[in-house]
Structure 1
Amino acid sequence: MSGLRERQKQERRALIAEAALSVFKSNGFAATTVESIANAAGVSPPTVVNYFGSKQGVLLALLQEPDYRAIQETSERVRDYTDPVDALCDLEMTITGNQIKAIPASLWREIIPLWLNGDADEVFRAWNDAVVEGSQSLLVHFRERGLLRKDLDLVFVARVVNDWANIAFVRLAAQDEPDMEAHGEYMRQAFTLLCEGIAEPAKVGGTRARKAVRAR
C-alpha cells in the first residue's frame, strides 16, 4: 500500500510540474501564481505548496529533472571513455540538450536574467549544485584511473566546468534556434583547454622540468 501511495504522490507531483510549465509558457514566470498553477493542475493551492513550497520550487524541479535524467543516462556510458574531455563533452551536451528540449527559448529569456541578477538565488544554486556533483563524480572516476592529477581539487574543477558551461548555455538558450553543433565545438575547446592547460610543455632537462619534478 505504501508503494501505491508513493507512486500516486509522484504522479501528482509530475502532473503539477507539467501544468506549471504550461502556465509559465503562456503567462511568463513573473505573472504566474501558485493559484494559477493549482487551477491548471486541478488541485488546490495548498497542494502545490505542499509538494513544491512555492512557484520557485516548481521551477527548480523543472530545471533539475532534465539534469538528473542526463546524469543517469550518461553515468555508465561516460565511464567507458579513456579521455576526460570526451566524457565531459558527452555529459554537458546531454544535460544541455535535455534543458533546451524541456524549456522553450521564450521562458529561458525570462528566467536567465533572474539567474544572472541573483534573484531566486536558492533555486539556481540548488540547480547548479546537482550538476557540479555529477561532474565531480565523473572527475573522481578519471582520477582513480590515473588520468587526472592526484592533487586536483575536484570540487573546484567541477565548479569551473559548471561555470564555463553556464556561460555558454546563456548564449545558447537566448537563440530562437539553438546551434547545438557550435555549442558542442566551443565546449570541446573549453574542456580541452581546462584539461591540457595553456603552458608550453617543459623541455626535458630544462629549469621548468626540474621545478616540475621537485613540485611532485
Structure 2
Amino acid sequence: MPAIASPPPKMGLRQRQKIERQNLILEVAQKRFSEMGYVDTTIESIADEAGMSAVSVFNYFGSKVGLLFALVKESDTRLLAKLRNLSDERHEEAVEAVAEFARIIHDNATTYLTKRLWRRVLAASIVEQSSEFRTQYKDLDLELQKQLGHLLVALQHSGRLTPDAPIARLTETLFMLQNSRFVQYMSSDTILEAEADVLFRADASLVLEQFSN
C-alpha cells in the first residue's frame, strides 16, 4: 500500500490529517490506475472514491502525472532501502551480485505498479521534459546508479573484481544496460521476468568478463 509517511506521534493534528489524506489518495490512485488504466482514470473519480473534492487532490499532487510520480517516488524510496542493504557477500561471482541488483529493481517495480503503468511512467519521463517529474525521475536514476557503483566498489575491495577495474565506466555501462533491459521488459507483455534476468546476466557477463576474478 502506498504511503508518503507515517505521521510522527508528536505531529500536529492538521499535519497528521494532511499526510493521512495524501496516503488515502495514493492508495485509491494506485488501485484505479491498476484496474481502470491511467487514461480512463480521472482525478474526479479518484477524489470521489477517496471521499474528498477534486480540488483537494489537485492541491496535493498538482495533476494526474503528479500522482503517478508520487507512486513512483514511493516505490523507489523502498527500492533504495533494499539496495542499500544488498550485500556483496551473498555471491561468489561479481556477475551474480550485479544480476541480483537488477532483479531487485524488477521485483520492486512490479510490486507497486503494473507494466502498463510503467509504460506511462517511462513515456512521461521523456515527454514531460521541462517538468518536475522529469527532473526528479532523473535524480532517482542517478541515485540508483550510485548504489550500483557502491556495489562494484565493494566487489573490487573483496577481490571479485580486479584492482584495475574501471569502476566508474563499469557502473555507467552496466546501469545503461540494466535500464535498457528494464524498458524492454516493461514494454513487452510476452517477456517474463526470468527471461529478462537471463538477458541482463548475459550482458553483465560480457562487460565484467575481463575484470572478474
Corresponding residue for residue 105 of structure 2: 95
Q: Does 1:50 align with 2:59?
A: yes
Q: What one-letter code is carried by the residue in structure 1 that aligns with 2:87?
A: V
**Kindly tell me: are residues 197 and 68 of structure 1, through their superposed partners in 2, closer, same or farther at Cα, counting changes over 3 Å?**
farther
**Kindly tell me: are residues 101 and 140 of structure 1, through their superposed partners in 2, closer, same or farther at Cα, counting changes over 3 Å?**
closer
Displacement of 1:96 in angstroms is: 0.8
Q: Does 1:137 align with 2:142?
A: no
Displacement of 1:183 in angstroms is: 0.8
User: C-alpha deviations, 1:163-185, integer Å up to 9, x for none?
Assistant: 32232122222344651111111
Distance 1:114 1:17 in 2: 18
Distance 2:37 2:81 in 1: 30
User: C-alpha deviations, 1:37-68, integer Å up to 9, x for none?
Assistant: 22232222333233322211211122232232
The alignment's TM-score, normalised by the length of structure 2, stands at 0.71
Corresponding residue for residue 165 of structure 1: 178
**5+ long unaligned stretches in structure 2:** 1-8
Q: Does 1:35 align with 2:40?
A: no
The alignment-based identity, stated in percent, is 27
Q: What one-letter code is carried by the residue in structure 1 that aligns with 2:57?
A: V
Is the 2:43–2:57 Cα contact (8 Å) retained in structure 1? Answer: yes
Displacement of 1:89 in angstroms is: 1.7
Between the two proteins, the alignment pairs up a number of residues equal to 195
Displacement of 1:120 in angstroms is: 2.6
**5+ long unaligned stretches in structure 1:** 199-216
Distance 2:11 2:195 in 1: 45
Q: Does 1:126 align with 2:139?
A: no
Corresponding residue for residue 21 of structure 2: 12
Displacement of 1:188 in angstroms is: 1.2
Distance 2:179 2:193 in 1: 14
Corresponding residue for residue 207 of structure 2: 194
Distance 1:166 1:47 in 2: 35
Corresponding residue for residue 11 of structure 2: 3
Q: Does 1:67 align with 2:76?
A: yes
Task: Decide which moves more: 160-169 or 57-66.
Answer: 160-169
Task: Decide which moves more: 96-105 or 179-188.
Answer: 96-105
**Kindly tell me: are residues 185 and 125 of structure 1, through their superposed partners in 2, closer, same or farther at Cα, counting changes over 3 Å?**
farther
Q: What one-letter code is carried by the residue in structure 2 that aligns with 1:173?
A: M
Is the 1:132–1:158 Cα contact (8 Å) retained in structure 2? Answer: no
Q: Does 1:23 align with 2:36?
A: no
* Partner secondary structure for residue 87 of structure 2: helix
RMSD: 3.3
Q: What one-letter code is carried by the residue in structure 2 that aligns with 1:165?
A: Q
Of the three residues 58, 70, 85, the one matched with 1:76 is 85
Is the 1:114–1:120 Cα contact (8 Å) retained in structure 2? Answer: yes
User: C-alpha deviations, 1:100-140, integer Å up to 9, x for none?
Assistant: 2322234345554445xx21344355334324313313413
The alignment's TM-score, normalised by the length of structure 1, stands at 0.70
**Kindly tell me: are residues 161 and 3 of structure 1, through their superposed partners in 2, closer, same or farther at Cα, counting changes over 3 Å?**
farther
